[in-house]
Amino acid sequence: MSRRAVTLACASCLLLVLAVVGALLPVPYVALYPGPTANTLGDNGKGVPLVQIDGRQTYPADGHLNFTTVTYRGGPEARIDLFTALRGWLSADTAIVPEETIFPKHESQQQVDAENTRQMQDSQENAEAAALHELGIAVPTRVVVNSVQPNMPASGKIQPNDEITSVNGVQTGTVDKVKAETGRIGVGGKAEIGLLRAGKPVRVTLTTAKGQDGKPVVGVVLAEAYRFPFKINISVGDIGGPSAGLMFSLSIVDKLTPGSLTGGKFVAGTGTISPEGQVGPIGGIQQKMIAARRAGATVFLTPKDNCAEALSARPSGLRLVRADTLHGAVQSLNALTSGKGDVPACSK
């Protein structure tokens, strides 16, 4: 064999080795795939209703109201290789997105997972509140202590998860009410705080301090929660994120009202939900539609801000129904079931 042939053969082998090594190099991207979908009118796979209501009359519901999910591969601690990324770019089922889209800088995978879990919990509470508001059932709020600031009047006297019920004898059901009553006291004044701690009433007296804005404070970070009139339990296992809120709300409405929202149809969907019933956009709409259609869905409830993207990737046989609010989604399902009324479609 000539020297030139040997050189070409060696160069070809070297290029092949470099190509293989390069394809296996980790890259800062995440692959998104269609994830599991579950019927909120059914059970969680262990015989337990996915949405269970106790203490209130419920009604049988048929059909499907499926929430949809996205699974991912990659992340700072387990990056995908270049070959996987290239294959994903060529696949209609997969989205390849920059790593920071899913994992913000300076956050570990464990922190992201914890945040997703918190978002799912908040989504469930918002879904319950929205559904009861839609049905005209009163849902009073309560004020809960998220955290206590160090070296402030409340330190050592008020604890996280305490519920503030009154300030100087005035009942408080909102954060604004607590702030208003504290403001009346003035800096250096006495504040008698009524609390519920683990269900037991507690009273503490504090001297207010001067906050950064010059207003009187006691040094607590507050949040509003709800006091539901009956128990609603949502069981979804280790699925995280806020995007199932709309479907949870619809399931609760369906179970608490006679008849069937779906009319036996296979409806799936996605969207965050606010306590007032506003539907918000989500990520991964393409993968969620694919998962829904594969499961058998023929109708997909789509947040209005996701409509343009959804239209460009809609699977064949899947009807997109625009969902702006919970009330609107209920009306759309009633129109689909009865064949009467307008059903808003997605538009670009």
Torsion over CA: 71, 75, 81, 87 (sign): positive
Residues of the chain with CATH 3.30.230.10: 33-70+122-138+230-338
**Class for the domain spanning 33-70+122-138+230-338:** alpha beta
> What pLDDT, on the 0 to 100 scale, is given for residue 190?
94
**Dist. CA 310–CA 68, nearest whole Å:** 14
- Distant-in-sequence, close-in-space partners of 69: CB < 8 Å, separation ≥ 6: 35, 36, 37, 239, 241, 243, 244, 288, 291
**Dist. CA 107–CA 119, nearest whole Å:** 16
User: In degrees, to the nearest 5, what angle opens at C-alpha 113 toward C-alphas 108 and 117?
Assistant: 145
Structure tokens at 214: 């010059």
Fold category of 141-226 in CATH: Pdz3 Domain (2.30.42)
> What pLDDT, on the 0 to 100 scale, is given for residue 1?
52
> What pLDDT, on the 0 to 100 scale, is given for residue 183?
92
Residue 83 sits at φ, ψ, to 5 deg, of -60, -45
Residue whose tokens read 């980790």: 26
> What pLDDT, on the 0 to 100 scale, is given for residue 23?
47
Q: Which helix (H) or strand (E) holds 167?
A: strand 163-167
Structure tokens at 20: 């293989």
As annotated, the active-site residues are: 243, 288
How confident is the prediction along the chain (348 residues), in pLDDT tens digits per residue?
555 554 555 445 544 444 444 445 788 888 899 999 999 999 887 888 999 999 999 999 899 999 999 998 888 777 888 888 888 888 888 888 888 888 887 777 778 778 888 888 889 999 999 999 999 999 998 999 989 999 999 999 999 999 999 999 999 889 999 999 999 999 999 999 999 999 899 999 999 999 888 899 999 999 888 889 999 999 888 788 889 999 999 999 999 999 999 999 999 999 999 999 999 999 999 999 999 999 999 999 999 999 999 999 999 999 999 999 999 999 999 999 988 888 999 976
> What pLDDT, on the 0 to 100 scale, is given for residue 18?
42
The CA dihedral of 97, 100, 101, 107, to the nearest 10 degrees, is 140
Residues of the chain with CATH 2.30.42.10: 141-226
Nearest to 337 by CA among 235, 262, 280, 284: 262
Structure tokens at 222: 């507050």
Nearest to 277 by CA among 331, 228, 346, 342: 331
**Dist. CA 37–CA 241, nearest whole Å:** 14
What is the SS3 assignment for 108?
coil
